[in-house]
Structure 1
């Protein structure tokens, strides 16, 4: 136990830096735990993150291709600014998430960790879980969410496979409460199949993931064997949205706020539309799909829009046997960032998507816009069982926890 840091003094106000202890940042979350009795709830956080670039040299050492691995080593050795980004497509000059340095803790979780018995990321995740009353936390990378935009698909495949190898060996092996949906090297269907077969039986792997910022059409025939493999194994497939300030739509936007509001939504809207209209749910009815970190406001819009178009042009979607919105109600969605600026609109959204049975809580910690479990408890129209379902019971069913 890292006793020195465990006894850190709690302060009413403080400057938060990359070195601030996570438990101090999240200290107020304990008030929600006491107010709502959250310790009596089974809570699953379906979307949280760690900063994999802090361990990038370790990941580069697990790149399978020896030539590429050596290239990464040389970049880190000879280019100081490439030490934690070698071979990646992460744009460090455009890291706007920390609000110009005002919310810096997600840039690098550099808080002191004295426990050397496990990887430091395990300790950091444990701190967040305990502070937020989380029973099971699904952890994803951060900059790797952009890997689908890498200019070299072969490098992207190697990096994703190296990260998966590192994460399962170091973080997942250190704490049974930590789970993940491993990212698929989606540029390469063969590598995706290999990833599923290699890790599907790992106790910490509860599904697989497509990073949504990419131009690949998820309906293409070469992916059908990937979906068939997942369906046969009963493993859910998630689509995790991410930011992009350089695509054809967001490139016209002059504010990060604008791009952040739109890009997290449009990438998942594109994939979901292709998924439904091309009849993937009909071809793989047992494959559970989860749409992650796009919020909820877009869901009723897309339901209504696709239903409207489908009823006028059913010949374009011959595999469908019901309305697009009905397929969407068979899918699952994560809550963060849940839009609660208009309670009436939120209630209509919950009703449209049958949220009490399809929505799963996510914090998105340690990002600047994270949501604590109390965010769900404070929704006035949600029933008691609905709150329990959203906070953990639906995830228990989806992932077989």
Structure 2
């Protein structure tokens, strides 16, 4: 297909087609815009020294234009011009693809890299208040993610309890980069707060090896962004194994965990390995009464972007079956990043029932959204 034809197809409105919930949207949350939500001491510190946070792009330069699609040009001459940005964002993504709902996953996880936990807590509160006021309350299609200072689980639980009951906030979110694997019992106060507020816990790739977080691989730091992207999956694997074997889902049987922007098909051989090792070593984790793959199926959800497509097309559907896609996979676009997955072209052809599970129903069940959206969005048939 010619480039002009592709662009034309992307611009078509798909009203009335199959509904979409996009589970990974990075709408801008500018630091200048956060100032009015911060205590005076932190506003003054930001005015004097800047945001005082390590940056991922300072170490591993991203793709695209500052990490975004080249065509992404929001009409923001000044960072505080949030209203014009929201209109642009609505037109270029929500309306363009007729999304029934979009889950906002934040625009910067640098807050998870600083040892100053009080500052991190203040920033997280400001980000949550900003998202609620500037996005969630202005467009009913938008749902927010509760940012937490995961460095301090007690402060994190306090923030979850503060805003977790807001109907527009549908999950708690942290970066993949961490000081400890997420199954470690130090995080239990976070999971208890998630359970109290009936919120899933989402892990989004980012901030591996930045600031106080451990290196992005077990062998140390890497040189190039391509290596860095590959390493993210390794860390997500470590978190998944930790959550299962440390017994998080035994202690918190209602907890759901979402792995965001780490790909999807790698899950299948990893689960095979976990099940195999559990059979040989189950005496070390007697609290697990089922194979790891069963805990994954019942408690873990995965977003699709960036999709790994096997070179042989006939392998795709068997791999989808192996990762329990009908139950566990949810569509994500990663808008507006350079590796954005269009809902029109991201997936090979699938049966309608599987497509509906991935593009709508799995996310609706996880986030407590209507099984039939009030305004149908759509994807191409």
| TM-score bracket for this pair, using the shorter chain length | 0.7 to 0.9
Whether the aligned pair in 2 keeps the contact of 1:119 and 1:174 (CA below 8 Å) is no
CA RMSD of aligned residues (A): 3.0
Q: TM-score, normalised by structure 1?
A: 0.80
The correspondence for 1:253, drawn from 222, 225, 229, is 222
Partner in structure 2 of residue 210 of structure 1: 174
The correspondence for 2:344, drawn from 371, 374, 399, is 374
Counterparts of 1:298 and 1:323, CA distance in 2: 18
Q: Mark the runs of 5 or more structure 2 residues left unpaired by the alignment.
A: 370-381
Counterparts of 1:290 and 1:117, CA distance in 2: 32
Partner in structure 1 of residue 238 of structure 2: 270
Partner in structure 1 of residue 103 of structure 2: 138
Counterparts of 1:71 and 1:94, CA distance in 2: 24
For CA contacts below 8 A with separation 6 or more, give which structure has more relative contact order: 2
Partner in structure 1 of residue 35 of structure 2: 60
After TM superposition, the structure 1 = structure 2 runs for residues 322-341 of structure 1, keeping only pairs within 5 Å, are 322-330=290-298, 331-341=300-310
What secondary structure does 1:362 align onto? coil
Counterparts of 1:334 and 1:315, CA distance in 2: 33
Q: TM-score, normalised by structure 2?
A: 0.84
Partner in structure 2 of residue 47 of structure 1: 24
Deviations 1:157-199 (CA, angstroms, capped at 9, x unpaired)? 3322222222222222221111122122211122212212111
Whether the aligned pair in 1 keeps the contact of 2:70 and 2:338 (CA below 8 Å) is yes
Partner in structure 2 of residue 29 of structure 1: 10
Runs in 1 of length 4+ with deviation above 6 angstroms?
none
Matched, 1:200 2:177: no
Counterparts of 1:30 and 1:357, CA distance in 2: 31
Whether the aligned pair in 2 keeps the contact of 1:213 and 1:243 (CA below 8 Å) is yes
Partner in structure 1 of residue 361 of structure 2: 393
The correspondence for 1:352, drawn from 294, 304, 322, is 322
CA shift at 1:92, angstroms?
A: 5.0
CA shift at 1:56, angstroms?
A: 1.1
CA shift at 1:122, angstroms?
A: 2.2
Matched, 1:242 2:206: yes
Matched, 1:362 2:339: no
Counterparts of 1:340 and 1:283, CA distance in 2: 36
Q: Mark the runs of 5 or more structure 1 residues left unpaired by the alignment.
A: 1-11, 14-24, 76-81
Whether the aligned pair in 2 keeps the contact of 1:48 and 1:137 (CA below 8 Å) is yes
